[in-house]
Chains A and B, each alone.
Chain A
Amino acid sequence: MASSAASTASSPHDTSLPKLVGAAVVGAPLVAALFVWALALPNIDLYSLGDYGLTTDLPVGWYVALSVCVVGTVFHACVGSTRWAWAYLLGVVVVLFATLPLLVEQPHYSWVYKHIGVVRFLEENHQVDPSIDIYNRWPGFFALSAVFGSAGGQLNPVKYAAWSELLFTTLNLLILAGIVRAIAGSRRIAVAAGLLFVAFNWVGQAYYSPQAMTFFGHLVIVWLVVTQLNRNTPDRGGRAVLRLASRIVRRPQDPALPTGHRWMPSWVAVLAVLLIHAAVVASHQLTPYLLVLEVGALTLLGLVRPRLLVLGLLAMALAYLAPNLDFVKHNFGLFSSLNPFSNIERPSRFNVDPVAGKVWSERAGEALIILMLGGAAISTLVLARRGRGTRALVLLVLALAPGALLFGGNYGGEAVLRLVLFSSPWCAALIAWALMDVSSNSWRLALLGGGAVVASALFVPANFGQEELRTLPLDEVRASEHLYDDGRTPAVVMLIAPPGFAPRYGPRYPEFRHANLLQDSRFRNRPLGPADVPAVAASMKKYAPRGYLVFSTTQNTYANVFRVTPPGALGSLEAAIARSPRFRRWYRGSDTRIYELLPRSEVTTPTRSAKRSAAPVTRPPAAPPAPRVRPPSLLPAPSPLLFPPSPPPAPPPAPPRLRPRAPFYDLR
């Protein structure tokens, strides 16, 4: 007869096999979803998108994969295993943010290339030049990227920048989970908050940029503050708020704040906060002040200690701003307006009349903002009705604090984007908590599932709805590389209609000035042709005696989509430019044509036969290009990267470098 010991002392195989089978069953949908997603990728053509961007051109398989991952996250967050919930959530992140990098190597968003240009400038020159632009004055992120590129073997950031969204979103989820778990006390609520955070965060600020890095640093600081420096109960200010909340919802609030997640001495947490804040201060202009607002609000309500911490954060930010204050005031202004309603608007460069697809994309983003803010407000009341107002107050304060930004300025028209970015994690946490804080599994599934599906459905058009404007053809990047490598200076790079092309991409970008033709209203909303050539030349001459006028596919698309010019206007203009003796075709590729505006002394009248003959793809300049003296490198020589390396020219004495005025600047 088998002894009880034998029956209980089962071999490892007997207990692990059911577990393996169970894991296979639970994980199969995730694996299948990612497999379907991978199969769908070759069916996506980023270069032939319609008016609705990627939204209508994504294959059904892509949507199926996303849906399975979202539903899987919801299911496991509500009733299953939180580990599998995280696995499915990572599947959501992969589907959303690994699709584009796997399709094209070059990163999307034309504005990422100016960040790459700064990094390449530092890699080449090994030193910042604060007179160039604001990036050289807040160089933390760019210096780190330059060092990373050097350590990685002269990596051009264009090779890895496309993966930034995947990396930073994953890092942000890691920290957000810790914060939400500490406050709400539940792993399930933490993963649900992560899912909603991903869906609400349509503003696309996790791309290769100082903001992405400092946003992560900001989350870590908030995590340290609310888990290691929080008080057991709020002090007088916080208790007053809670008494008011109790009267409104007619329910007393539990005054206790969670303190069970402390694992380091307070002084260590303060030191860590200050250290990380120092890196944030040196990397981004805005994030330090948002941190001051958030930590300051928590301190005012007596939710965190020590009180002096917020003064330390503010002092560091102001101390760094002080030597740069004149530059900021002269080029951008410190405060644009105290009117929050005007600051929340996103002024367009043009009076645009976009096609229906762009309107739909914009409305989807607005709907997400309303859903996020409205949902957070309702969730706060719901949580207060359940007596959880004290802990919810922490999240509410964090969500509201960035709103103070609207009383200072519009941050180049991007105040609302930053507001969404910095509020989204806390709004997501409040909503997830309220949705999950029900006793019935069915209700929990229905509420969280409904919210997640709606938010995810809106995310796709909001985030991907303008992809035909954001994914640059490889030829435009190559053309930019050639321009900044071999273009003669001093010169202006005149774009037609940004976003488009890859401006300021090369390490010589400070030697060029930059302008946009259609910013001049004389060229908008009417046909263009030979009569406009002198005016185009005159516009360029205002900046420099020589210039490069760039026509490209992405810019044409922008002008058509937003109806800045009538159909065919840019084509007519380009044809006239090509025939003009004032211009010489400098580059011709599959998606880009660059015309060089010649100084008066170099203008000739070519014969008809000479005009008809095809120009070379790249025309060597008549005079030697401005030389770049590459300092000796201690690292191995780079292998060919995205573009074939050009041989270094014989180094004549370097001419003095032009210090352009601060270029047309987009504070991203």
Chain B
Amino acid sequence: MLAISAAISTQIEAGSPVRAVLVLAAFLLVPGWGLISLLSSGPPAAMLGLAIALSITLDVAGSLVLVWTGHFDVLAVAGIVGAVAVLLLLADLVRQSQSPRDETSAPQAAG
């Protein structure tokens, strides 16, 4: 959702705080969360911190490629990174939905 929101935000007026916040959130969460999804679950705060750090790492790597090569195509790189992250997240969702139910889970409350 965040990746899609960030992609949509590029259509928002440049300089808008909404766009800046969405893009910042996407920069800080999307790439790293895609990688985190490959791991088993850990403490939520730890996963969040690691996702942010890995996101910044991948962002820095992509940015360095742009400024070292001079091919400053931000949208293309952001699109590639975002697409890979989204695919990883989708794969993780599919994996979770196909995993067997936990037998000790409490029965759902009657509606």
Taking Cβ atoms with an 8 Å cutoff, the residues of A that contact B are 122, 126-128, 139-141, 143-144, 146-148, 150-155, 159-160, 171, 174-175, 177-178, 213, 216-217, 220, 223-224, 227, 261, 263-264, 268, 272, 275-276, 278-279, 282-283, 631, 634-641
Q: Which residues of A contact B12 (CB under 8 A)?
A: 153
Q: Which residues of A contact B73 (CB under 8 A)?
A: 634
Interface contact B54-A641, CB-CB below 8 Å: no
Interface contact A174-B75, CB-CB below 8 Å: no
Q: Is B105 an interface residue (CB 8 A)?
A: no
Interface contact B60-A283, CB-CB below 8 Å: yes
Interface contact B20-A152, CB-CB below 8 Å: yes
The answer to whether residues A220 and B64 also contact, given A150-B72, A152-B23 and a CB cut-off of 8 A, is no
Known pairs A127-B67, A147-B78; list 10 more (Cβ under 8 Å).
A126-B67, A127-B70, A144-B56, A152-B23, A153-B20, A174-B52, A177-B45, A178-B46, A224-B50, A278-B57
Q: Is B48 an interface residue (CB 8 A)?
A: yes
Interface contact B23-A127, CB-CB below 8 Å: no
CA of A143 to CA of B78, assembled, Å: 14
Tell me the nearest residue of chain B to A190, going by C-beta. Answer: B45
Interface contact A174-B45, CB-CB below 8 Å: yes
Interface contact B14-A154, CB-CB below 8 Å: yes
> Within the complex, what minimum Cβ distance (angstroms) separates A612 from chain B?
42
Q: Which residues of B contact A636 (CB under 8 A)?
A: 10, 13-14
Q: Which residues of B contact A220 (CB under 8 A)?
A: 49-50, 53
CA of A479 to CA of B26, assembled, Å: 34
Residues 11-37 of B at the A interface (beta carbon under 8 Å): 12-16, 19-20, 23-24, 27
Q: Is B1 an interface residue (CB 8 A)?
A: no
Q: 14 interchain pairs (CB within 8 A)? A: A128-B67, A140-B63, A144-B56, A146-B67, A147-B66, A150-B74, A155-B14, A174-B45, A217-B53, A220-B50, A282-B64, A635-B75, A636-B14, A639-B14
Q: Which residues of B contact A154 (CB under 8 A)?
A: 14-15
Q: Is B40 an interface residue (CB 8 A)?
A: yes
Interface contact A152-B19, CB-CB below 8 Å: yes
Among A152, A153, A264, A640, point to the contact of B42 (Cβ < 8 A).
A264
Q: Which residues of B contact A216 (CB under 8 A)?
A: 53, 56
Q: Which residues of B contact A153 (CB under 8 A)?
A: 10, 12-16, 19-20
The answer to whether residues A146 and B63 also contact, given A264-B42, A638-B15 and a CB cut-off of 8 A, is yes
Q: Which residues of A contact B100 (CB under 8 A)?
A: none
Tell me the nearest residue of chain A to B46, going by C-beta. Answer: A178
> Within the complex, what minimum Cβ distance (angstroms) separates A135 from chain B?
11
Q: Which residues of A contact B13 (CB under 8 A)?
A: 153, 636, 639
Interface contact B16-A122, CB-CB below 8 Å: no
Interface contact A175-B68, CB-CB below 8 Å: no
Q: Is B94 an interface residue (CB 8 A)?
A: no
Interface contact B60-A635, CB-CB below 8 Å: no
Interface contact B23-A128, CB-CB below 8 Å: no
Interface contact B27-A148, CB-CB below 8 Å: yes
Interface contact A148-B70, CB-CB below 8 Å: no
Interface contact A264-B60, CB-CB below 8 Å: no
Among A174, A279, A631, A635, point to the contact of B14 (Cβ < 8 A).
A635
Interface contact B75-A127, CB-CB below 8 Å: no
Interface contact B60-A159, CB-CB below 8 Å: no
Interface contact B24-A148, CB-CB below 8 Å: yes
Among B42, B57, B63, point to the contact of A263 (Cβ < 8 A).
B42
Contact with A along B59-86 (1 / 0, CB 8 A): 1111110111111111101100000000
